[in-house]
Amino acid sequence: MQRRPWPSNPTSSPLLPPDSDRAMNWPREIRLSSDKRTLTVTFDGGERFALPAEYLRVESPSAEVQGHHPSQKQTVTGKQDVTIVAVEPVGNYAVRLIFDDGHDSGLYSFDYLWELGRDLPDRWQAYLIAQGRDE
Residues 6+ apart with CB under 8 A from 87: 2, 4, 30, 32, 39, 95, 96, 97, 98
Q: Looking at residues 59-74, what average pLDDT do you find? A: 67
Higher-confidence residue of 46 and 16: namely 46
Q: Looking at residues 32-60, what average pLDDT do you find? A: 96
Average of per-residue pLDDT values in the chain: 82
Q: Looking at residues 12-32, what average pLDDT do you find? A: 62
Full DSSP string of 85-107: EEEEEETTTEEEEEETTS----E
DSSP secondary-structure letter at 59? T
Q: Which domains does the chain have, with CATH numbers?
A: 2-6+23-130 (3.30.2020.30)
Read off the pLDDT band of 76 (50, 70, 90): confident
Q: By the 8 A CB rule, do 25 and 6 touch?
A: no
DSSP secondary-structure letter at 3? E
